[in-house]
Amino acid sequence: MKMLILGASYGSLLSTKLLMTGHDVTLICRSASAVLINSEGTEVRIKLRDEDAHRAIRSADLPGSLNAVTPEQARPEDYDMIALAMQEPQYSAPSVRGLMARIAASGKPCLSIMNMPPLPFLRRIESLENMALDSAYDDASVWQGFEPGLMSLCSPDPQAFRPPEEGTNILHVGLPTNFKAAVFADPAHTALLKNLPNFDKLSYYQPRLVSKIFTTNGNFLEDYSNENRIFINYNQIPRELINCFLVSEDINFYNHFGVDFKGIARAFFKNMSNIF
CATH number, position 56: 3.40.50.720
pLDDT band for 200, please (50, 70, 90 cuts). low
Task: Please tell me whether residues 8 and 139 are part of one structural domain.
Answer: yes
Within a domain: 231: no
Q: What's the domain count of the chain?
A: 2
171 and 276 both lie in a single domain: no
Going by pLDDT thresholds of 50, 70 and 90, the confidence category of residue 177 is low
DSSP 130: T
Helix (DSSP H) and strand (DSSP E) numbers for the chain: 8, 13
Are 53 and 117 contained in the same domain? yes
Q: Range of 252's domain?
A: 237-276
pLDDT by residue (tens digit) across 6-36?
999 888 988 998 998 889 999 999 999 999 9
Q: How distant, in Å, are the alpha carbons of 95, 140, 147 from that of 120? A: 20, 10, 7
In this structure, what DSSP letter does residue 168 have? T
**One domain, residues 187 and 246:** no
38 and 160 belong to one structural domain: yes
Asked whether residue 39 carries a pLDDT value surpassing 60, the answer given is yes
pTM recorded for the entire structure = 0.71
Judgement on whether residues 199 and 260 belong to the same structural domain of the protein: no
**Strand order, beta sheet including 170-175:** 55-58, 43-46, 170-175, 159-161
User: Residue 52 falls within a domain, yes or no?
Assistant: yes
On whether both 167 and 254 belong to a single domain, the answer is no
What is the pLDDT averaged over residues 98-127?
93
Whether 143 and 249 map to the same domain: the answer is no
Task: Provide the residue type at 275 as one letter.
Answer: I
The torsion of the CA quartet 124, 125, 130, 131, rounded to 10 degrees, works out to -130
- Mark 93-114 as b/e (b = at least 16 C-beta within 10 Å): beebeebbeebbebebbbbbbb
The full length of the chain comes to 276
Same-domain check for residues 196 and 243: no
How confident is the model at residue 233, as a pLDDT?
67
Per-residue confidence band for 227, with pLDDT thresholds at 50, 70 and 90? low
* 193, pLDDT greater than 90: no
